[in-house]
Structure 1
Amino acid sequence: MAASLEEVMISYEELSDLEHEFDEVETEIIRQQYALSKSLYVKRAELAAKIPNFWPLVFEQAPMDIDEYIQPSDSALLLSSLKSISVSRFELDEDEKNGDPRSMAIRFEFAENDHFEDKVLEKKFWWRQSKDGFAGLVSEPIDIKWKKGKDLTDGLLSLVKAVYDEQVAKPKVETKDKKAKVQLTEKQKALKNKIDSTGMGGVSFFAWFGYIGEYVTAEESKEAIAEEKEERRKRKAGEEVAKKEDEDDEMDEDDEDDEDDEDDDLDIFPTGDAVAMAIADDLWPGALKYFIQAQEQDMMSELDFETDDEDEDEDEEMEDGAPQPKKKHKGCAHGCAH
């Protein structure tokens, strides 16, 4: 039988502190890797710019974490108009020593297309920590200048941007009455009705630009990190750390769940942070691998075509016997033509 933490005199706080140390090491690895590989990515960008359809082909081979959100209409736009993708750790670019390496900016460059006027769409993600224990990527919604009748998100992006701007202008005020029902504003109601009527199944990949996540300001994050750092320092020094009141730690769980549900109801792309990490940690660094994979797949398709043609010729020459089954072609992931 496994020993309890009380029996071995180890606290959850000690385990949490150790886990935090692992996180610090991983964060430092990102910092060093970014500095060492920065010039290589510049060189790769120069080479990729000389290769026709480099990034469309890379995106065509996107891993499942990204590909599952790409609808046929998204694919057609990306494959015909995407010029380049880049990922930067903008906080490191601003302050190499103190910037958080986990914050990132993902930049898409497009050629002229039938859907929107923007030539560049850049979405920033900040690594933030809140006083209630949340730690992760947060973002601001980016609106797109859609051409008339060409909005692939069917108005969702514009609505979530309006709701976010409203929230920033008038932040939510905490009340003592935890059970008080928060009333939706008119803009929030419009967004919720749009989500309910549209349904989130099959939503456009471009709705990803509307991801927000938790609403955590830079000021709150700075304070939360400082408080946690001080608590860990005290524990390490053997000093007593004041515990929060039980009622603060356990706030009515039902009410908390209700608040989470309300936030989720207004989220047009709940997994936006996961997609951002898949782009930054997989698609972006593995672009050469995915491009070569696309080339090999194209070659296999051509070989299958030639084999099928030969089989058909042989079948025509055969007077007797059943025709041989044709081989299946493995076409492009999104039905493109090379």
Structure 2
Amino acid sequence: MHTYSQRIKQEAARLGFDFCGISRAEFLEDEAPRLETWLARQMHGQMSYMAGHFDKRLDPRLLVEGAKSVVTVLLNYYPEKSLPQGPDEYKISKYAYGTDYHFVIKDKLKDLMAYIHEEIGEVGGRVFVDSAPVMDKAWAQRSGAGWVGKHSNILNRDIGSFFFIGELILDLELEPDGPVKDYCGTCTRCLDACPTGAITEPYVVDGSKCISYFTIELKEAIPEEVRGKFDNWVFGCDICQDVCPWNRFARPHRTPEFDPHPALAEFTKQDWEEITEDVFREVFRRSAVKRTKLEGLKRNIEFVQSAVSPERVK
């Protein structure tokens, strides 16, 4: 069991993952009341999928028959050079600079699964990358990947929080790792910096107030009460991560697919405002930005264009 665990971790490192940890596939008892309360308070906004498959979300054995282990991997996406972030520049979240992470991580996890089949034998399991009712952060925490920060992202002492999370849920018994302690201490930088007050209290994010929600998930008009609070973010938002002291340890990723399209790196404010369907299709061909479609991106640009934010994050 221990040998299998070590071999899987070694192969994960060879494939380029920045962390690999293991937890037992069991019912997430401590997450159930938390999730229930969050949903009851309507903090998922219009993300109705968050309320679906409640039982599967909490029990991996309902996703993979006979599941015994959850293998969690992290893949860093912190860029060597950020896109222009000046007070007059439109901004997109760093995770959306390059190729959509679903493709990249899924391919790597499929390779890890193939390795398990070749080296260990007939192991049943599935690959998960943010595409099924799996509580990524809960499993990451249990696997020792890090702790849940006050901004609700997983924080790792070595690399900060700019990474993607993926899982293999397997019917193979493996040696589990343990969680690490919380190192947020008395720091409240993320709470203080959030322009829309989405971090309502430490460790609780009201998804329906988050700039990422407004610019990606919300399909209708953005509410007037948040006009002037977006700090020029037009797809996603990195504010709570950018101000986090642990991200001073963030280091450039080693995944070429996460580099921005060359044209995107040269985008001016005018390019954003005059973007056409052809340019959108070319620059964001395999990018997460495609989720908003061109109309959604234009809506976001017009929304921030019409107001200068009074609360810039220093």
Whether TM exceeds 0.5 here: the answer is no
> Could you state the TM-score of these two structures normalised by the residue count of structure 1?
0.22
**Which of the pair is proportionally richer in strand?**
2
**Which of the pair is proportionally richer in helix?**
1
**Structure of higher CA gyration radius:** 1
> Could you state the TM-score of these two structures normalised by the residue count of structure 2?
0.23
Q: Which has the higher contact order (CA 8 A, sep 6+)?
A: 2
